[in-house]
Amino acid sequence: MDILVVGSVAFDSVETPFGQADEVLGGSATYFSTSASYFSNVAMVAVVGEDFPVEHEVMLKEKNIDLAGLQRVKGGETFRWKGRYEYDLNQAHTLETHLNVFESFSPELPEEYKKIPYVFLANIDPELQLKVLEQVENPKLVACDTMNFWIEGKQDKLRELLKKVDMFVINEGEAREFSDEASLVRAARHILDCGPHTVIIKRGEYGALMFKDDEVFNAPAYPMEDIFDPTGAGDSFAGGLMGYLANTGDLSEEGLRKAIIIGSTMASFNVEAFSLNRLKDLTLDEINLRYKAFKRLTHFEEL
Ligand code: AMP
């Protein structure tokens, strides 16, 4: 296995200006691993309740995602998130968060997960992210994500975690909130001073910015005619990014640039439908074609 992910597996209820979905499959680990599965083998550490239908597990297994680290709690209820988006689809408004089985979850890595080289700590309680990190041995790359819920509720733990990760993937609003800086350049500098050598700021329909040493890479998002549901875009982005990095092993600046465009490609598919309905059935040809469209989108000649 190439990638270890810990994160949420959820039932999401989502309203957008274009429709709504109730209690559909979601969660940061679910979106991440489905996206990454097109490029690498993923092992998932998470928890669900007794109410989690077997068909969701079957779908994940069909994508070759290893579920030996997925705990199922007898009598427990799966994590639930309810959110709404208005016309500004970049901004999710959380209406409800029910941690349920996550409240008493303690991640235990199966022995065969401990030496997995690429680790992604998807959006989840930073204490759980730290517990996973304590169990891995000599990872090649550790990346993590978070959200305002944890920046506001557990910032000390998040700062402790950042000292131990190589790459921080965070969205624009949360980067500003975390750093207390309006400028994204200053926000990125603040984050780099906390520990990671690379920070990637996700900017929704405006793309993503990578800061590494003195380099900045500005990747566009794919211009979409219709966006049905942005939920999971950030995790699909991270899944494509990590999936590609683990597949190639190329952590150079150029390798990272390509991985970010693969991440943007996967996010652009994900927003075309609610839940994982688009993300789960892609072909490599579709992914390649859209990657090429990205290349064309940003290509220009020297003067
Ligand atoms: P994103 O990729 O940022 O749109 O993340 C969306 C996913 O994050 C949803 O499927 C939610 O189930 C999940 N989520 C929302 N709030 C939390 C939270 N506090 N902890 C972990 N996962 C969450």
pLDDT (tens digit per residue) in 90-136:
889 999 999 999 999 999 999 999 999 999 999 999 999 999 999 99
Closest residue to atom 13 of ligand 1, CA basis: 27
For ligand 1, what atom is nearest to the CA of residue 80? 12
Closest residue to atom 11 of ligand 1, CA basis: 27
pLDDT digits (tens, 9 = 90+) for 283-293: 999 999 999 99
Residue 257: count other Cβ atoms within 10 Å of its Cβ. Answer: 14
Q: Is any ligand 1 atom within 6 A of the Cβ of residue 263?
A: no
pLDDT digit string (tens) for the chain, length 303 residues: 899 999 999 999 999 998 999 999 999 999 999 999 999 999 999 999 999 999 999 999 999 999 999 999 999 999 999 999 998 888 899 999 999 999 999 999 999 999 999 999 999 999 999 999 999 999 999 999 999 999 999 999 999 999 999 999 999 999 999 999 999 999 999 999 999 999 999 999 999 999 998 899 999 999 998 889 999 999 999 999 999 999 999 999 999 999 999 999 999 999 999 999 999 999 999 999 999 999 999 899 999
Question: Is residue 296 classed as helix, strand or coil in its secondary structure?
Answer: helix
Q: Is any ligand 1 atom within 6 A of the Cβ of residue 26?
A: yes
- Domains annotated on the chain, with CATH: 3-298 (3.40.1190.20)
Q: Is any ligand 1 atom within 6 A of the Cβ of residue 234?
A: yes
The DSSP annotation for 21-45 comes to EEEEEE-HHHHHHHHHTTTS-EEEE
Residue 86: count other Cβ atoms within 10 Å of its Cβ. Answer: 11
CA distance 136 to 121: 12
- Rounded to an integer, what is the distance from CA 119 to the centroid of its chain? 12
CA distance 41 to 145: 20
Strands 79-85, 92-98: pairing kind: antiparallel
What is the arrangement of strands in the sheet containing 198-202, beginning at the earlier edge strand? Answer: 66-73, 42-49, 3-6, 118-121, 141-144, 167-171, 198-202, 208-212, 215-219
Q: Is any ligand 1 atom within 6 A of the Cβ of residue 28?
A: yes
Closest residue to atom 20 of ligand 1, CA basis: 124
pTM tops 0.95? yes
What is the arrangement of strands in the sheet containing 19-26, beginning at the earlier edge strand? Answer: 19-26, 10-16, 79-85, 92-98
Q: Is any ligand 1 atom within 6 A of the Cβ of residue 266?
A: no
Residue 219: count other Cβ atoms within 10 Å of its Cβ. Answer: 21
CA distance 281 to 290: 15
Average pLDDT, the chain: 96
Residue 9: count other Cβ atoms within 10 Å of its Cβ. Answer: 27
For ligand 1, what atom is nearest to the CA of residue 235? 2
For ligand 1, what atom is nearest to the CA of residue 171? 3
DSSP 53: -
CA–centroid distance, 92 to ligand 1, in Å, is 10
Q: What pLDDT sits at residue 87? A: 86
Element (H, E) at 209: strand 208-212
Closest residue to atom 9 of ligand 1, CA basis: 27
